[in-house]
Amino acid sequence: MFRFIRLYLIGLLFLCFLFSSIPSVLFADINFLGKKIPDVFVSAPQEDTSYFILVEKNSQTLYLYSYDGSSYERVLTSPCSTGKVKGAKIVQGDQKTPEGIYFFDHKYEAKHLAAIYGDGAFSMDFPNSLDGLLQIDGSSIWLHGTNKEIKPRDSNGCVVVDNNILSELKKYITLKNTPIIVVDEINYIRENSYKKEAKEILSLISETNKAIENGTYQNYLSFYSPDFLPDITWWIEWINYRKKLNKNEILNSVKQDNILILKHKGFYIAAFDKYIKLNNGSERIYTGKEKKFIKFNDEKPIIISEEPLEIVKSSVEKEKGLSLITAYEKFARNRHQQAEIAAINTRINSWLKAWSSKDINSYAQYYSEKFRFGGMNRKAWLKNKQKINNKYKFIKVTAENMRSDIKNNQCTVTFIQKYKSDAYQAKGIKTITLIRENNEWKIYREGWRKL
């Protein structure tokens, strides 16, 4: 008996020695593949820190998570209140809180709201296009504060938190960017469990971009579910732009950035910024922020729905949805305007030099035939200028802080004008209006105010 106890103690000491000699880093690896995180997190942007709001209806708890490019951390935990009726929302007025992945699209200040909304509110983009596919209906689902005590399941469908919690959350919410994920009960998985799925979804998005770069609309549609037809009314026009780009500029690629991938009940949502790269990447055109809803069929991801998250506005400032064409038109228009402004500023400086040189013939070339000032037409104005020039031995006119603005085929230029001669000097704000005449910018009107 004593021999058995002795052998047992010797064995125990041996095991203690053995495990004490194992490097601590090995225990880190033995830590069963890392910590657990909610299974809604698939992939997040590597740049900067991302924030997520996660609501668990079963426990009536709201969580704020962060992702710093390497791991997810719980930042805040708070009681919350959701819809009075249990279960996922189905129809308008059922007093249920919808379950899914949404983004905040508008912020409401307390001064614009009834007292019951507390210190403010953020509206959620419910229903989204996935809700439409699932025949889920409703509207006006918000995250907001309250002027009452928080009680479990006490709202008509919104997510409600104490005012102090809402004030804290405001620091982390960015419209069109911060998601709120609402689930019945959180399931936990090991971090990085979705590496394969994330890689395949990123590949899917990249392939759709390649089809936009140089493929056909059949290539493009091959990445979508046969049950969903995306808006391709822009495709023919885009092909024409693509030819124009290939002729006049180098279309390097259609790319995405800041990609966020989340999962809920077998559906994935990928949200990302989209842009076009031109001329070896030296020029980049932002085309908006997109959301794609994705499902795996036979282990292959397909797009089942999509919608804009942030849209580029057209030249008439009307929202026409995400459009590569709209974005390129806006980019081309801005670039053309910048070139025009540079040319106008150069022309104004040349006009000042002609004025300073007292060369009336050169000076006259900068004026429109329609020019009028103080009751004088162009001819009378130039005659008056010649008389002034003859009075002084020298004239020097310079401009500072020049600003130009082109609108409706006219350009308004303002600057600080300094006028100096051997007998007179003045400083003031000069305003010049130019118009197009014989394909050149000509001075149409002048104004001056002394400083």
Instruction: Give the tens place of pLDDT for each residue, 384-421.
Output: 999 999 999 999 999 999 999 888 789 999 999 999 99
Contact 262, 278 (CB under 8 A): no
Is the pLDDT higher at 28 or at 129? 129
- Under CATH, what is the fold of the domain 333-450? Nuclear Transport Factor 2; Chain: A, (3.10.450)
Omega within 30 of 0 (cis) for the link into 230: no
Mean pLDDT of 120-130: 95
Q: pLDDT tens-digit profile of 314-348?
A: 544 444 445 677 777 777 777 678 778 888 999 99
18 or 300, greater pLDDT? 300
How confident is the model at residue 281, as a pLDDT? 72
Least confident of 26-35, 276-285, 392-401: 26-35
CA nearest neighbour of 125 among 93, 107, 102, 150: 102
Share of the chain above pLDDT 90, in %: 65
Which residue carries 């809180």 as its tokens? Answer: 97
Hey, what CATH class is 196-302+311-322 in? alpha beta
**Residue-level pLDDT at 316:** 42
Phi, psi of 324, deg, nearest 5:
-60, -35
More confident residue, 2 or 440: 440
pLDDT attached to residue 19: 41
pLDDT at 317: 41
pLDDT of residue 312: 62
Question: Are domains 36-190 and 333-450 of this chain identical in fold?
Answer: no
Across residues 355-382, what is the average pLDDT? 93
> Is the distance from CB of 303 to CB of 228 less than 8 angstroms?
yes
Residues 6+ apart with CB under 8 A from 265: 99, 100
Structural domain boundaries of the chain?
A: 36-190, 196-302+311-322, 333-450
CA–CA distance, 301 with 202 (Å, rounded to integer):
10
Which pLDDT score is estimated for 318?
A: 43
Report whether 83 contacts 184 (CB < 8 A): no
Q: What is the mean pLDDT of the chain?
A: 87
Residue with tokens 């989209």: 274
pTM of the predicted structure, to 2 decimals: 0.72
Decide which of 58 and 229 is more confident: 58
Average confidence (pLDDT) over 211-232:
92
Q: How many angstroms separate the CA atoms of 385 and 55, rounded?
A: 75
Task: Give the CATH number of domain 36-190; options: 3.40.50.150, 2.40.440.10, 2.60.40.2310, 3.30.559.10.
Answer: 2.40.440.10
Residue 332 is encoded by which pair of tokens? 């081309």
> Does residue 389 come out as left (phi exceeding 0), alpha (psi in the -120 to 50 range) or beta?
alpha
Q: Residue 313 — pLDDT band, cuts 50, 70, 90? A: low
Number of neighbouring beta carbons within 10 Å of residue 154? 16
- Give me the long-range contacts of 122-127 (CB less than 8 A, separation at least 24): 122/173, 122/175, 124/180, 125/309, 126/98, 126/100, 126/102, 127/98
Question: Which of 14-28, 156-170, 239-253, 436-450 is the least confident region?
Answer: 14-28
The mean pLDDT value for 133-148 works out to 94
For the ranges 21-30, 56-65, 126-135, 180-189, the lowest mean pLDDT is seen at 21-30
Beta strand pairing call for 179-183 and 41-43: unpaired
pLDDT at residue 12 tops 70: no
